[in-house]
Structures are given as structure tokens and as C-alpha cells.
Amino acid sequence: MRWEDQELNHEVPENKFPEVFFAGLFLLGCASKQQGSFLPIDQQTLDEMVEKGDLPKKAQGVRIDRLCLHYRLFCRLGPGGDHCPVLGTTHFWEDSKSLYAILYISPKNDWFHIMVVGGEAPNQPAAPNAGIASQLTIGHYRPGVGEPERSAAMSTS
């Protein structure tokens, strides 16, 4: 399965599915209230959370498959269609505390489990597109700057 085949992908404007944004944001807060244990979420749980007021009314009508895709994007995971559930993490801040969300997402994007744990903030901010940035740095060197191993080998021969 490819991201281009999904309703929610990198090319979709943020305001096309506002209920997904609000549900995703407020679910992090709900999960942080019970740090250290997984909170299982499916479509029925989402609907109940909106009715009870745990999620804002702006999250009304959120679909579990779109929310799973939203979290997959945040965790830099594939769009799904695998044979096994995937595990992803994302960093966020709440009340000036550094927190990590650990997400266990179903292969069919029909449920996920979320757990929030505290932790030190990353030393460096993530690159705007970390997947591409890490690929570009592999084997990259600056012209004119000698490589110690090569310089030593060349001077002795």
C-alpha cells in the first residue's frame, strides 16, 4: 500500500480533516493522564470519548482509519497494509514537560494502543524531513577536506 492511495497523506491540506487533528492532539493529553499504561483505542472508544467530553466536539465524526494514518505520519511509519502491527514513537511537550507517545498501530488501521511516558527531550530538533536528511548525509563528504584513513594510507605508500 502506498501513501498516495490513502485519503490522508502528505499532500492533504491540514484543514481537510480537522476532526483528525483535534482528536489526535487531545488523545495525547488523555493518554498522558495515565502514563505508563497502554490506552486501547478503536472506533467505538473514539465515539464514546467524544460523547463523554474526553475529546472536544471538534473531534466529532473522526474515523479510526484516518486517525491511525495521522499517527503513522507523525511517527514516520508506512501507511499500513502490513501483516503485523507496527510500533512507533513521537515526541511532544505538555506543560513544559518532555513526553513521548508510544503507538502500537494495527496493520489495517482499525485500532491502536497509545502510551505516554516521560523522558528527556531530544538533543537536536528533528530535521524537516528526517528520512531524506539521513539518506543525504550517508557517505557525504566535503571536497578539499582530507579523510584521515586515506591520507595516512596514501602517504605511506
Q: For residues 3 and 9, what is the distance between their CA atoms, to the nearest angstrom?
A: 6
**Position 151 in a domain:** no
**Position 130 in a domain:** no
Domain CATH code at residue 69:
3.30.450
**% the chain with pLDDT above 90:** 32
**Position 146 in a domain:** no
pLDDT value at residue 44: 95
**Position 63 in a domain:** yes
Over 50: is that where the pLDDT of 83 sits?
A: yes
Q: What is the mean pLDDT of residues 11-36?
A: 82
**Least confident residue range of 3-12, 15-24, 25-34, 101-110:** 3-12
Read off φ and ψ for residue 56, nearest 5 degrees. Answer: -70, 160
Range of the domain at 107: 3-123
**Position 13 in a domain:** yes
**Position 115 in a domain:** yes
DSSP string covering 27-40: HHHHHHTTTTS-EE
pLDDT value at residue 121: 74
**Position 141 in a domain:** no
Which grid coordinates are listed for 5?
A: 492511495
Structural domains in the chain (count): 1
pTM higher than 0.85:
no
**Position 149 in a domain:** no
Sign of the torsion formed by the C-alpha atoms of 72, 77, 80 and 82: negative
Over the stretch 115-144, which tens digit does the pLDDT of each residue have? 999 988 767 665 565 554 444 444 444 444
User: Does residue 22 or residue 43 have the better pLDDT?
Assistant: 43
